[in-house]
Amino acid sequence: MTNSETKATLSFSDGSASLEMPIYKGSVGPDVIDIRKLYGATGMFTYDPGFMSTAACNSSITYIDGDKGELLYRGYPIEQLAVNGGDFLETCYLLLNGELPNATQKTEFVDTVTKHTMVHEQMQFFFRGFRRDAHPMSVLVGTVGALASFYHDSLDINDPHHREVSAIRLIAKMPTLVAMAYKYSIGQPFVYPRNDLSYSANFMHMMFSTPCEPYKVNEVLVRALDRILILHADHEQNASTSTVRLAGSSGANPFACIAAGIACLWGPAHGGANEAALSMLEEIGSVDNIPEFIAQVKDKNSGVKLMGFGHRVYKNYDPRAKLMRETCYEVLNELGLQDDPLFKLAMALEKIALEDEYFVSRKLYPNVDFYSGIVQRALGIPTSLFTGIFALARTVGWIAQWKEMISDPEQKIGRPRQLFVGSPKRDVPPIDQRG
Ligand code: CMC
């Protein structure tokens, strides 16, 4: 971040105050005005619900150009990482360390992650406390938070080695916990990780093996899962990542912070959108019903949204959606499901929406979740676990952002301010005088 020669001046029309504020330049993207002295100088806060114009930190991890539809992890375009960038663990290494690993670094990293895949045997008792029909996201919020009680040896956030060990533990154990949540929900025994398999193949094994029948690894499907993980690995300062940073700003341990991120991701406007998009397609049912559905979406009183469409940052086609659409074709071909009615319906809906003035004028394009649900369903993943897979993928992004925040000398406890519109000070009346 460098200082710009240009300064911003804020002056009030009544001449009561004027303030000159520095402008900082990033490497790419919009500059920022440093408003930190505003309150001290004027006694006023800025008002920005939803952080529409507010950068809460500086970061060198992920860059999005929403107008161009560009997503870069540490400078590398997502298209290159997804197609030529190796597997998900390479992306993890990149996000955590800033550079892609060389062959030796990759082997060491994979080896370290692989050796942490098992969870404490006691963990299964936490699962057994949940109802079998509990939503996997509630199970994950609970069990990921509970990890903190098992790993006291890596909770000193001021120790870089502890931070590193916690990061590895979280990345390694998330697939095990997500698969355990699934197995518990269907009443099957938990399946232990297999360290001879790749990260994604091991996850499929823990999901789909039973003591009676091993899962036969299918490379096309494993690659598809790996791509889902790469595409969801990080997305700069979205709601769940900001939640992780805010939780972490108080000095909370990383397991607690990631549990907070999972809770935020659960919402349908964020990670829950893939589940909601698939349910929406199922509800629409057939191509003939699309016009009626689109009419409902346009009717502001209906409360209906086209799930998997629109994004706070992308005002163009989400680059992840293009890659996910490609993966969708590959997986459905591999499984002989080319005529999958839901996929055909999604294609028709996308085409109609992309030509419709309502969506065009608002720059609403498909986001990654429009297609990821169809891919996951084809992989055999139940709808209720879709957001859990998103959480598994995003764990590396959350932890990379958390680590970056902890080592930032400008880091302070997050404490937004408010415009108070409630009652001014008043006296408590006796109960017989209350209305
Ligand atoms: N369907 C219909 N109308 C929409 C949609 C949609 N999916 N998204 C936005 N709009 C309309 C909105 O009603 C508003 O219209 P108007 O200007 O007439 O009031 C206009 O477009 C601008 O929308 P906004 O609500 O101001 O946009 P936002 O940046 O606050 O919301 C969003 C972004 C993602 C929450 C929203 O687009 C949405 O709810 N989409 C559906 C849910 C979804 O797919 N979420 C996944 C996001 S990608 C995965 C992730 O990163 O978590």
- The pLDDT value recorded for residue 402 is 98
Give the strand pairing for 2-11 and 76-77.
unpaired
Q: How far is the CA of 120 from the centre of ligand 1 (A)?
A: 41
- The pLDDT value recorded for residue 15 is 85
Cα 34 to chain centroid distance, Å, stands at 27
If you count DSSP H runs as helices and E runs as strands, how many of each does the chain have, helices first? 18, 6
With a CB cutoff of 8 Å and minimum separation 6, the contacts of 431 are: none
Ligand 1, residues 279, 311, 368: which to mutate, most atoms within 8 A of Cβ?
A: 311
Tens of pLDDT, residue by residue over 95-153, are 999 999 999 999 999 999 999 999 999 999 999 999 999 999 999 999 999 999 999 88
pLDDT at 369 over 80: yes
- Whether 306 is in the pocket of ligand 1, judged by its Cβ within 6 Å, is yes
Amino acid identity at 76? Y
* 3 — pLDDT class (breaks 50, 70, 90): confident
In the residue annotation, 369 being an active-site residue is answered as yes
- Whether 310 is in the pocket of ligand 1, judged by its Cβ within 6 Å, is yes
Burial of 435 (0-12, 13-18, 19+ CB in 10 A): exposed
Give the residue, by CA position, lying nearest to ligand 1 atom 40.
310
- Nearest residue to 399 (alpha-carbon basis) of 179, 176, 247, 205: 247
Ligand 1, residues 364, 369, 370: which to mutate, most atoms within 8 A of Cβ?
A: 364
Q: How far is the CA of 310 from the centre of ligand 1 (A)?
A: 5
Which whole-number Å values give the CA distances from 306 to 64, 357, 373, in the listed order? Answer: 23, 14, 14
- Whether 269 is in the pocket of ligand 1, judged by its Cβ within 6 Å, is yes
- Whether 342 is in the pocket of ligand 1, judged by its Cβ within 6 Å, is no
Tens of pLDDT, residue by residue over 22-75, are 999 999 999 999 999 999 999 999 999 999 999 999 999 999 999 999 999 999
Amino acid identity at 354? L
- Whether 305 is in the pocket of ligand 1, judged by its Cβ within 6 Å, is yes
Which 3-state string (H, E, C) describes 304-321? CCCCCECCCCCCCCCHHH
State pTM to two decimals: 0.92
Q: Rounded to an integer, what distance in angstroms lies between the CA atom of residue 270 and that of residue 250?
A: 24
Percent residues over pLDDT 90 in the chain: 86
In the residue annotation, 205 being an active-site residue is answered as no
